[in-house]
Amino acid sequence: MTSATKQTADIAIIGGSGLYQMADLTNKRRVKVETPFGEPSDDIVLGELTGTTVAFLARHGQGHKFMPSEVPYRANIYALKTLGVRYIISVSAVGSLQENLKPLDMVVPNQMIDMTKQRVSSFFGDGAVAHVSMADPLCPAMSEVLTRSYDKANIADGRCHSKATYVCIEGPQFSTRAESQWYRQMNADIIGMTNMPEAKLARETSIAYATLALVTDFDSWHPTEEAVSADYAIQNLMKNADNAQQVIKEAVALLASEQPKSIAHTALAQALVTPIEAMSDKTKTRISALLPK
Ligand SMILES: CSC[C@H]1O[C@H](OP(=O)(O)O)[C@H](O)[C@@H]1O
Ligand SMILES: Nc1ncnc2[nH]cnc12
């Protein structure tokens, strides 16, 4: 099968707020994927980017219909797994919790703190137990590719920072000033509402996952900068969406040519506690895409 007609992809992009499509994707075909966990946020768009087939999924759906708590995270990740995806580039708007991370900067975080409260964060259960390692929640090899891609893209505005901690809140409301200060005391650097449980679920499916975070605001802690509003964040995001797509293009080319090994690719092999033979047929069917063949 030529890459132009492939219905599978090695690399996926999950586009967050403000990134509902990729301008340079060619030969687009929309794929509806049903999963045992329901429907994904939207059709998945397969297409070619710099000669490589990629899968694009708008996290909040076209028209931004799903709140962070409502995003069907399990269906999204499971659907990408069934398309053969091994690398997910997650693109996200974030607030800055540090003076040196400024709107229009990009950040490739390496750590996460999960402060979400009402999200299902595992594919397991119903007689199947697995405990994947989340010590390094974002794939180090892919993150290194993202920072290199930023340098290759020659972005005129802002800077790129790495080794930062992303704190994920439930939302949809932004944080109070007291909460924002508390996250700073936790040594969090950036704040968002979506990358958990996405990163946990990706790890359970053995897909490498890394984040390109676009700084849009100073959240609510800053003594002189305006406290974040959706309008303010989206205006800054729109200024940076084209730049993000240039970085993604470089990253896709590097991932396709280098195919980096990821700690995620073998994550489930070390984590499954329940023998497959001990699982019910119903459970095995439900998580079949995850289980070793
Ligand atoms: C519109 S700003 C708040 C919104 O943006 C971020 O979403 P995403 O990670 O999908 O870019 C943040 O988590 C909130 O959902
Ligand atoms: N300050 C903020 N808090 C949570 N999510 C965000 N997304 C963009 N800015 C944000």
The pLDDT tens digits for 138-189 are: 999 999 999 999 999 999 989 999 999 999 999 999 999 999 999 999 999 9
CB 68 less than 6 A from any atom of ligand 2: no
ipTM above 0.85, yes or no: yes
Count Cβ atoms below 10 Å from residue 32 Cβ, excluding itself.
10
Written as six digits, the tokens of 276 are 């497959």
- 48's enclosing H/E stretch is strand 44-49
User: Could you read off the pLDDT of 60-104 as tens digits, one per residue?
Assistant: 999 999 999 999 999 999 999 999 999 999 999 999 999 999 999
**Is 5 a residue whose pLDDT tops 80?**
no
Q: Best substitution site from 13, 14, 17, 216 to test ligand 1's pocket, by max atoms within 8 Å of Cβ?
A: 17
- Among positive and negative, which fits the CA dihedral 159, 254, 145, 234? positive
> Does residue 219's CB lie within 6 angstroms of at least one atom of ligand 2?
yes
What does the alpha-carbon distance between residue 189 and residue 183 come to, in Å, rounded to a whole number? 8
66 is in an annotated binding site: no
Assess whether pLDDT exceeds 90 at residue 279.
yes
Q: Which residues line ligand 1 (CB under 6 A)?
A: 16-17, 59-60, 68, 92-93, 171, 192-194, 230, 233-234
Q: Whose CA is nearest to atom 3 of ligand 1?
A: 230
- The one-character DSSP state at 76 is H
Q: How confident is the model at residue 105 (pLDDT cuts 50, 70, 90)?
A: very high
pTM as predicted: 0.97
Give tens-digit pLDDT for 18-30: 999 999 999 999 9
Distance between Cα 183 and ligand 2 center (Å): 13
pLDDT tens-digit map of 128-141? 999 999 999 999 99
